[in-house]
Amino acid sequence: MSASDHPADGLDDVVHQRHRLGILVVLAETRRADFAYLKSTLGVTDGNLGRHLQVLEEAAYVTVEKVFEQRRPRTWVTITKAGREALNSEIAVLDDIVSRARRSGQD
């Protein structure tokens, strides 16, 4: 196998990061979540989460909406169709890598 057709080449650098992958997995299940929920679920700091969301938003994988609810600021993060597709593609590539590794382990 040449280096160019290794399944790892299909990994998306934007998605293939532990916390960003986690954000997309949570949002794929819930469609949208607020900043505080993502922060507590993923166990990250405000600054860290904010940076990851910025990367995902720039890739158009999520939209970030800042609103006031009952006079309090709230940030909602919603997954986009492109975000879902990127997540599904990432999972497919990871599955492929794992299955290849298992096969090579059996040889």
Partner 1 sequence: MNQSDDLSELRRRARLDRHATSYPLIVIGAAGFHYASFRTFGWLPIVYGMPLAFVVVWALQWRHERERGVGSGHDGMLMLAFAVLLGTSFILSETWWSITSVVANLSEVWALLPSALGLATLGWRQRNGMLIGASVSVAVALTAGEMAKDSYLVFPGGDASTSYLVLLPQLAFAAVTGAGLLQLRREEAPE
The residues binding partner 1 (CB under 8 A) are 18, 21-22, 25-37, 41-42, 69, 74, 78, 91, 94, 98
Q: Which is nearer to partner 1, 6 or 74 (CB)?
A: 74
Tell me, rounded to whole angstroms, the distance of Cα 99 from its chain centroid.
22
Least separation, in Å, of the C-beta of 2 and partner 1? 26
Q: Which is nearer to partner 1, 26 or 55 (CB)?
A: 26
Least separation, in Å, of the C-beta of 21 and partner 1? 7
8 A C-beta contact, residue 86 and residue 15: yes
Strand (E) positions, the chain?
32-34, 62-69, 72-79
User: At 50, is the secondary structure helix, strand, or coil?
Assistant: helix
Output DSSP code: residue 7. Answer: G
3-state helix, strand, coil in the chain (%, to 5): 65, 20, 20
Least separation, in Å, of the C-beta of 1 and partner 1? 23
Q: Which is nearer to partner 1, 4 or 105 (CB)?
A: 105
Least separation, in Å, of the C-beta of 28 and partner 1? 8
